[in-house]
Amino acid sequence: MGQKIWLPVVISLLCLLTACGPAPEIATVTRVIDGDTIVIDTGQEVRYIGIDTPEIYPTREPYGDQAWKVNRHLVEGKEVRLERDVSDTDQYGRLLRYVYVEGIFVNGELVILGLAEAKAYPPDTKNQEHLEWLETVARESHRGMWQK
């Protein structure tokens, strides 16, 4: 009987010490749709959380091609780590995720290069303060879309 009482306590302590939570998803990017949307090997579309890049469809907005090309360079054909915030999907059925590749926070990289704006989509705002700081740095450095 004593073991049954301690087991949940031990598991809870292990979770606290090892940051238990949803395991990060690992996927391979099969296609880059635009600056902030990709397709992974399951066939699902993934929309980057907390940012908005200029569009390339249906019309090409300034810096849309650059955002798409940089995103392709960063993730296409590569294994990425996908991190969920609060919501699993958006209204279009796309997975909502923070994306990491080879130690790079892709969402943030696009912002710091001036190819994306930090844009909050509550309730998914865990990294929003950081993304907004990166946008401030990009603006003050006149990078990408923030050039004079």
| Catalytic member of 94, 109, 117, 135 | 94
- Mark whether 45 is an active-site residue: no
| Catalytic member of 47, 83, 84, 135 | 47
- Mark whether 94 is an active-site residue: yes
List the one residue out of 77, 72, 82 whose CA is nearest residue 35: 72
| Catalytic member of 55, 61, 76, 132 | 55
- Mark whether 55 is an active-site residue: yes
Say which amino acid occupies 39: V
Residues taking part in catalysis: 47, 55, 94
